[in-house]
Amino acid sequence: MVQLRVTALIALVVTACLDRSPEGAPGPAPTAAVFRGGPDGSNCAPALPVMYDASGALRPFQSILAHYYRILELRRAEVDGEVVLDADLPSPYDGSVAHIESLAKSIEIFQDRGEQGFAHHRYYAGQFGFGPDLGEASGTACVAIDDEALRRVGLQAHTALAQAGQCGVNDDGTPRFWEVGPLFLFRPGDAFDARVLIAKGLARWTTEEYPERCIVPRRDALPDVEVVVSEAKRKIPCAIGFRPDAVTEAVVELIPSSAMVDATPVLMRPFTAAGFVPLPNGLATVRRVLRDGWLRAMAAVDVPVFALLAPDDPTSYWVAVVGHPIGPLQHPSELLLPEERAWVDGLVGRYEERCCHEVCTTAARVATTTPPPPPPPPSCQVVCEPEGECRTAMSDGMTVMVAGVTTADCAGDCPHPAASPPSAAPACEWTAPELP
């Protein structure tokens, strides 16, 4: 079993220090959060509803990407005294454009900043650090890395980064891609000092906030639980809350699947619970993939839910991600296979059953005769809570958020080659991993 890096906030931007708090507010304390990634981590490989596989057949994006993370081969290698991650694919996928374009992205996803990996004849710089800690150089030969948790988080993060692809052409004729950042990724169980979110532009100091947007309630004035439940839209005393422009783009869900690619079971395919609140800064034209009808299977409601790790300590701002509220859609993706759709319905229910109810009214009767006539029949109509507001379950998927600080630039090459690569390629011999 590969030990994944112990992480805190997964925010795709690097900040050297925390923001200064407003006058009278407590100052930020040292934090053990591991900051990872950057705007150049946006997904440059195109994410289209259907893509060509190694045989030239068209398959859904979900199947191509899920199959890619089934067959992906990873090894820890040492070159010139430096530890690198070596990524490759078995034949015939080492010649498939749809697969090759993902290799560099996997290096960015698994390796941290300051680390690098080798894929498709060149070295690339790490960005996000979702992979295992490869340790220090020790003269060890190539070691295979094959872990189910690693494949799952890679598939989630790769999907989360999906967006519009090429945006132009550089002067030398090479393609130019969108670079978007910062993006913010959260997984249930991630723990960090909530003041980091203020530094990164996702949250703010406040005195009151709506319950669903409050990250750290004020410990000197905890609200009565019964009042909050019965008056869900009443603001509560709050110390740190999401900024008004902080929006959940989507939640990436890995859904158990019977889909197969080239006789290989993919086991699970990525779909999303899509947010409905408009994205800031015109990001909808670039960050459109996660909300597209072919990928969304559910609706994301509000923002992630957090829990205080030390509720009785007024000096602690450490929180953990609980999950993200979700609900059903009227028309989930038509790419869902029958058992995938059944899984979705089992989690959030059917929209018409969980979000709609009948409301009946009876007109007032005015008696003008004796005896009075029988009452008129009731008038009934079906009333439905809007998609994106009807909450029926809590997701344990990967949440993708943006805020007013998130921008999109048609900036240049992506993914970025390593600045100081080793002088030679890793000397690893590849063998296909055993599949379940």
Are 369 and 396 members of one domain? no
Are 18 and 56 members of one domain? yes
Q: DSSP assignment of 263-291, as one string?
A: TEE--EEEEEEE--SPPSTTGGGTS-GGG
Alpha-carbon span 1 to 256, nearest angstrom: 22
Q: Structure tokens of 245?
A: 């422009």
- Do the Cβ atoms of 263 and 170 come closer than 8 Å? no
The confidence band for 414, taking pLDDT boundaries of 50, 70 and 90, is low
263 falls within a domain: yes
The per-residue pLDDT for 206 is 95
The per-residue pLDDT for 67 is 93
Q: What value does the mean pLDDT of the chain take?
A: 83
152 falls within a domain: yes
Cite the DSSP H helix spans in 72-160: 97-110, 148-160
Q: What is the Cα 148 distance to its own chain's centre?
A: 18
* Predicted structure pTM score: 0.84
- Do the Cβ atoms of 427 and 142 come closer than 8 Å? yes
Cite the DSSP H helix spans in 142-189: 148-160
Alpha-carbon span 210 to 168, nearest angstrom: 42
The per-residue pLDDT for 171 is 79
Are 364 and 261 members of one domain? no
The per-residue pLDDT for 272 is 98
Using a pLDDT cut of 90, give the percent of the chain over it.
Answer: 52
Answer whether residue 31 shows pLDDT above 60.
no
Per residue in 422-436, pLDDT (tens digit) is: 989 998 765 544 444
Among the listed residues 126, 133, 161, 34, the one whose alpha carbon sits nearest the alpha carbon of residue 76: 133
Answer whether residue 21 shows pLDDT above 70.
no
Surface-to-core class of residue 308, CB atoms within 10 Å of its CB (0-12 exposed, 13-18 middle, 19+ buried): middle
Are 277 and 368 members of one domain? no
The per-residue pLDDT for 120 is 84
The per-residue pLDDT for 33 is 35
90 falls within a domain: yes
The per-residue pLDDT for 412 is 62
Per residue in 269-301, pLDDT (tens digit) is: 999 999 999 999 999 988 989 999 999 999 999
435 falls within a domain: no
Answer whether residue 40 shows pLDDT above 60.
no
The per-residue pLDDT for 227 is 41
Per residue in 299-326, pLDDT (tens digit) is: 999 999 999 999 999 999 999 999 999 9
436 falls within a domain: no
Are 303 and 379 members of one domain? no
Are 374 and 254 members of one domain? no
Answer whether residue 348 shows pLDDT above 90.
yes
221 falls within a domain: no
In this predicted model, which residue has the larger pLDDT, 31 or 42?
A: 42
The per-residue pLDDT for 221 is 62
The per-residue pLDDT for 195 is 94
The per-residue pLDDT for 127 is 83
The per-residue pLDDT for 413 is 65
If one counts the domains in the chain, the total is 2
Q: What is the mean pLDDT of residues 358-373?
A: 74
The per-residue pLDDT for 157 is 93
The confidence band for 92, taking pLDDT boundaries of 50, 70 and 90, is confident
The per-residue pLDDT for 39 is 34
Query: Could you tell me how many helices (H) and strands (E) the chain has, helices first?
Result: 7, 28
Q: What is the mean pLDDT of residues 77-91?
A: 92
Are 323 and 370 members of one domain? no
The per-residue pLDDT for 45 is 54
Are 252 and 371 members of one domain? no
The per-residue pLDDT for 8 is 39
- Do the Cβ atoms of 144 and 156 come closer than 8 Å? no
248 falls within a domain: yes
Identify the three-state secondary structure at position 225.
Answer: helix
The per-residue pLDDT for 233 is 60
Are 274 and 365 members of one domain? no
Per residue in 156-186, pLDDT (tens digit) is: 999 998 887 778 887 777 778 888 888 899 9
Alpha-carbon span 41 to 184, nearest angstrom: 11
Alpha-carbon span 222 to 158, nearest angstrom: 39
226 falls within a domain: no
Q: Give the amino acid at 181.
A: G
The per-residue pLDDT for 362 is 76
Are 310 and 375 members of one domain? no
Residues with Cβ within 8 Å of residue 286, at least 6 apart in sequence: 163, 164, 167, 178, 180, 408
Residues in the chain: 436
Are 365 and 405 members of one domain? no
* Residue numbers of the domain that contains 107: 10-202+243-343+388-412
The per-residue pLDDT for 265 is 95
The per-residue pLDDT for 337 is 97
Lowest-confidence range among 137-141, 146-150, 284-288, 350-354? 137-141
Are 331 and 377 members of one domain? no
Q: Within 10 A of 349 (CB to CB), how many other CB atoms are there?
A: 16
Bond from prior residue into 182 cis (ω within 30 degrees of 0): yes
Answer whether residue 228 shows pLDDT above 50.
no
